[in-house]
Structure 1
Amino acid sequence: MTKQTTTTKTFEQLNENGTPIYRWTMELIKRQGKKIWVMNHLFLNPDYDQKAIFEHAITALRSFIVQQELPIWPLDPLVIDYFELNADEELKAYWYHQPAKQ
């Protein structure tokens, strides 16, 4: 389930009782003359398989990003780690403001 305005998008999956399984919001901003989606922190319900719901959330994120064709700036440490360690080149191409290499 997603909700969207022109500058805000909410991604969430709810269980049968309406409790979030995962949830995050994104804000469309303009930075240095470019439109960028900022991905806020990702909530994963601890009562569910963390790996499975994270993968489901990343699949939803990938689909959205490829459709939008705009950069994404993830703020959540789990998502940043995923981009650094596991994302393919297509997904990395959309990654805005990557952390500096040490």
Structure 2
Amino acid sequence: MFSIDDPHQFFEEYDDDDVLICRWTMDKIKRKDGEVWVMNHFFINPSYEKKQQEVLAHRMETALLIAKESKIKIWPLDPMIIAYFSKHPKFDKYWYHKPY
């Protein structure tokens, strides 16, 4: 779980055999135009590559929930996450520095 008040969000998930599935972080930073969540590198274990979209879909719902509850936009830096945001319009409202 997470706490909106924590400026460093850290997520790690393991399967039943204690093998890492994915790991990602979000850090709240202050910019001239306000606060923003910086979504850093999103790691998915290569053995889960075939299930990548399934793994992302579940974790991006957590990211969206954090943005909605904190009322702070997300600045994705990982190309995989940028591509995910691009394909899912529900992130448009919460995407900081969205390319046009």
TM-score interval, normalised by the smaller of the two chains: 0.7 to 0.9
- Is the aligned partner of 1:72 residue 2:74? yes
What SS does the aligned partner of 2:41 have?
Answer: coil
Between the two proteins, the alignment pairs up a number of residues equal to 98
Question: CA separation in 2, counterparts of 1:34 and 1:78?
Answer: 25
- Give the conservation status (yes or no) of the 8 Å contact 2:92–2:98: no
Query: Match of 1:41, SS?
Result: strand
TM-score (norm 1): 0.81
Deviation by residue 1:73-95 (Cα, 9 ceiling, x = unmatched): 0001111112222232xx21111
CA contact (8 A) 1:29 1:35 kept: yes
Counterpart-to-counterpart distance in 1, 2:64 and 2:5: 19
Matched to 2:60, the amino acid is: I
Counterpart position of 1:57: 59
What amino acid is the match of 1:39? Answer: M
RMSD of aligned alpha carbons: 2.1
Write the mapping of 1:15-34 to structure 2, written as runs, cut at 5 A: 15-34=15-34
In structure 1, list runs of 5 or more residues that go unmatched.
Answer: none
Alignment partners' CA distance in 1, 2:36 and 2:68: 13
Separation of aligned partners in 2, 1:65 and 1:22: 20
Summarize the Cα distance change of 1:5–1:63 in structure 2 as closer, same or farther, 3 Å threshold.
closer
- Structure 2 unaligned spans of 5+: none
Q: CA deviation at 1:14?
A: 1.4
| % identical aligned pairs | 37
Task: Write out per-residue CA displacement over residues 41-91 of structure 1, whole angstroms, 9 at most, x where no aligned residue.
Answer: 111112121121111111221122211110110001111112222232xx2
Higher relative contact order (CA 8 A, sep 6+): 2
